[in-house]
Structure 1
Amino acid sequence: MESIKKVQVLLLDDDDDLREGMKWMFETVDLPMQGYATFDAFKNGLDEHVNSDAALCLLLDLRMPDMSGLEVFEWLKRSGYSLDRLPVIFLTGHGDISTAVESVKNGAFDFYEKPTTDQRLIERVKQALQKSGEYLVNLEVLKQWSERIDRLSPREREVMFLVAKGKLNKVIASDLDISMRTVEVHRANVFDKLKVRSAAELATLLSRLSDRLGFDQLAGLE
């Protein structure tokens, strides 16, 4: 946990005693917990947590009276919340093990059978928090790259994407109706501003960025 500066464990469970016990258990190992008794309360506070700089983990009761944990899980996915940003660990009774296993196949981080007051759950939560923290670090790296791309001129962006597609300078010159020398200058500027050394490295970078930002936002080409 050394690499994560802030952490926050979230718990959605309608059992008052369980929330109190879990809060005590996690806070004794320096893991702050925010408990929610209802989906509405959880939903209203979720964005504040997701938009913070704290690594997160959600402990989610599979069976609740108003909205089941599985329904909450599907809502999270439909609403676009990243399960890397917010790893979900289901809390389940013995009769729900098969459902919990299926949820892991569908993206949940793990599940634990109640009662869950043991060291194994604490360690698994720490691993989930580590995953969330890595997501935040990666997001910050991609943000820095996108800011570098924002500093490129429109023509440099055009050249950047054509270079990343593996096109030769003479082909780029023909496509853009500019001289070879101009292409060479733009290509050098792109490599310098983005601090990459080859077309292959540039292509890899843009592929990573497209997953987060979309080529439309970066290029204005396609």
Structure 2
Amino acid sequence: MGSSQLEQAKNVQVLLLDDDDDLREGMKWMFETMDLPMEGFASFEQFRVRLDEYVNSTAELCLLLDLRMPDMSGLEVFAWLKRSGYSLDRLPVIFLTGHGDISTAVEAVKNGAFDFYEKPTTDQRLVERVKQALQKSGEFLANLEVLKQWSERIDRLSPREREVMFLVAKGKLNKVIASELDISMRTVEVHRANVFEKLKVRSAAELATLLSRLSDRLGFDQLAGLE
């Protein structure tokens, strides 16, 4: 499969927010000749009403964001994205900047932007950097899929199995779990075996590591303080 076919197969979308009509047209032409679909927006409002459509899609994303715009600056848009809870891994941001704004753009990168490029931006290096940003977005999506799979496995546990799962993950012995839940040791052993089988883990340590990594994303309050 050629590189252009690969890009199409991967389902990618480059977004551009810039009030310069000529720049948007030129950038769209450049990226689409590289088989990288681009949608341009002249204003924040146009961008805002379409954003969730893209974020909730399966496309790998990258946002090219003009640092200086008349109604709402790129920095203000960037701050809004972060304040609104949009992941900069899902939507990596590359700032487009003039020569006098380099220091501001560098500061934006320190605050989570993926990169910045000085206008004019008809440069193959920008295309390559956008491809790297798209790859980062793809990795985020892949991680989401893994979390979804684990969540589905955990959802298959009974309420009692979930209780046992959390106590096992915290390193408690079967006899302690039996005492805390007021059930027999044999029942704990059965639930423990079911948990290991359904989650496809082999030890309490492996279970603890897994749940610790998933706790923030899946809302496991029971794992507070779990190492």
Amino acid across the alignment from 1:79: S
Please report how far the alpha carbon of residue 186 of structure 1 lies from its aligned counterpart in structure 2 after TM superposition.
0.3
| Structure 2 residue corresponding to 1:22, chosen from 4, 11, 27 | 27
Aligned letter for 2:38? Answer: M
Give the structure 2 partner of residue 106 of structure 1.
111
> 1:198, 1:59 → 2: CA distance?
46
| Whole-angstrom CA distance in 1 between matches of 2:217 and 2:129 | 27
Counterpart CA distance in 1 for 2:174 and 2:38 is: 56
- Name the residue aligned to 2:190: 185
The one-letter code of the counterpart of 1:183 is V
CA distance in 1, matches of 2:172, 2:118: 56
The aligned residue for residue 124 of structure 2 is 119
RMSD: 1.4
Q: Aligned equivalents of 1:210 and 1:21: distance in 2?
A: 45
Q: Does 1:128 align with 2:133?
A: yes
Q: CA deviation at 1:199?
A: 1.1
Q: TM-score, normalised by structure 2?
A: 0.93
Does the alignment pair 1:95 with 2:95?
no
Provide, for residues 8-61 of structure 1, a one-character-per-residue CA deviation record: whole Å limited to 9, x for no partner. 000000000000000000000100000000000000000000000000000000
| SS of residue in 2 equivalent to 1:58 | strand
Which residue is equivalent to 1:48?
53
Which blocks of at least 5 consecutive residues in structure 2 are unaligned? none
Q: Distance in 1 between matches of 2:46 and 2:106?
A: 27
Question: Matched residues in 2 for 1:207 and 1:26: separation?
Answer: 41
Partner secondary structure for residue 8 of structure 1: strand
Task: Name the amino acid aligned to 1:33.
Answer: M
Post-superposition Cα deviations, 1:120-141, rounded to whole Å, max 9, x if no partner, equal: 1000000000000010011011
Please list the CA deviations of residues 114-173 of structure 1 after superposition, one character each: whole Å capped at 9, or x if unmatched: 011111100000000000001001101100100110010000000000111111111111
Match of residue 169, structure 1, among 170, 174, 183: 174
Equivalent residue, structure 2, for 1:64: 69
2:151 is matched with which residue?
146
Shift in Å, 1:185: 0.4
Query: Percent identity among equivalent residues?
Result: 88
Specify the alignment match of 2:207 in structure 1: 202
Distance in 1 (alpha carbons) for counterparts of 2:193 and 2:218: 24
The amino acid across from 1:168 in the alignment is L
CA–CA distance in structure 2, aligned partners of residues 200 and 112 of structure 1: 45
Letter in 1 for 2:73: S
- Report the CA distance between 1:211 and its aligned residue: 2.1
- Inter-partner Cα distance in structure 2 for 1:205 and 1:6: 30
Q: Counterpart of 1:91 in 2: which secondary structure?
A: strand
After TM superposition, the structure 1 = structure 2 runs for residues 4-19 of structure 1, keeping only pairs within 5 Å, are 5-19=10-24
